[in-house]
């Protein structure tokens, strides 16, 4: 089955990085962590939410890959990145990442983005992340997430 343009960009980034991950496009919605977990049949805690914040001083995007069971601890992130962060609006997120909210992948982004990874994700053998659209996901290991993103593992969730 052929992938939509956004999902194919994610698949190409995965292949270029040398991982065997396969993007799958599903008939059901994977827009939220709960929906994604239902669609693939895993626990919501095994879903990677890729949340984009904006550094309030620098204006830079910051991606936080957090377990679907957790909320981002913004105070912790502030201490780690050295500035307050704010939830970015949908248009800005699309502009900086190349993808719409609900399908933001942790890889294959329009520009390199500083990434923090929720340490809770490391306890699972396999996790699932969005792959560019609200119907596309891929399965990977926590170690692959760390390697692919170059992200820093922290207690941010």
Can residue 129 be called a binding residue for ligand 5CA (CB under 6 A)? Answer: yes
Determine the Cα–Cα distance for residues 7 and 23; give it in Å rounded to an integer.
Answer: 7
Can residue 98 be called a binding residue for ligand 5CA (CB under 6 A)? Answer: no
Task: Considering only the stretches 8-16, 17-25, 98-106, 115-123, report the one whose residues sit in contact with ligand 5CA under the rule CB under 6 A.
Answer: 98-106
Cβ contacts of residue 16 below 8 Å, gap of 6+?
Answer: none
- Per CB under 6 A, the list member of 6, 11, 30, 149 interacting with ligand 5CA is 30
3-state secondary structure 103-137: CCCCCCCCCCCEEEEEHHHHHCCCEEEECCCCCEE
Binding mask 32-51 for ligand 5CA (x = CB under 6 A): xx--x----------xxxxx
Q: What is the helix (H) or strand (E) element at residue 36, kind and residue range? A: helix 33-40
- Per CB under 6 A, the list member of 14, 39, 130, 145 interacting with ligand 5CA is 130
Place of tokens 């957790």: 70
CB 44, CB 69: distance < 8 Å: yes
Nearest to 23 by CA among 51, 1, 47: 1
Residue 88: CB minimum distance to ligand 5CA, A: 6
Can residue 148 be called a binding residue for ligand 5CA (CB under 6 A)? Answer: no
Can residue 115 be called a binding residue for ligand 5CA (CB under 6 A)? Answer: no
Chain contacts with ligand 5CA (rule: CB under 6 A)? 30-33, 36, 47-51, 87, 89-90, 101-104, 129-130, 134
């Amino acid at each position: 089955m052929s992938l939509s343009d956004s999902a194919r960009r994610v698949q190409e980034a995965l292949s270029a990085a040398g991982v065997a991950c396969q993007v799958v496009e599903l008939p059901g919605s994977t827009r939220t962590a709960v929906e994604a977990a239902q669609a693939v049949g895993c626990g919501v805690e095994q879903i990677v939410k890729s949340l984009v914040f904006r550094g309030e001083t620098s204006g830079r995007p910051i991606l936080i890959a957090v377990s679907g069971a957790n909320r981002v601890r913004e105070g912790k992130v502030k201490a780690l990145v050295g500035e307050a962060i704010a939830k970015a609006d949908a248009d800005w997120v699309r502009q900086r990442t190349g993808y719409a909210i609900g399908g933001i992948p942790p890889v294959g982004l329009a520009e390199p983005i500083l990434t923090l990874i929720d340490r809770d994700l490391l306890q699972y053998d396999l996790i699932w992340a969005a792959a560019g659209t609200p119907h596309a996901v891929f399965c990977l290991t926590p170690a692959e997430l760390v390697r692919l993103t170059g992200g820093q593992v922290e207690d941010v969730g």
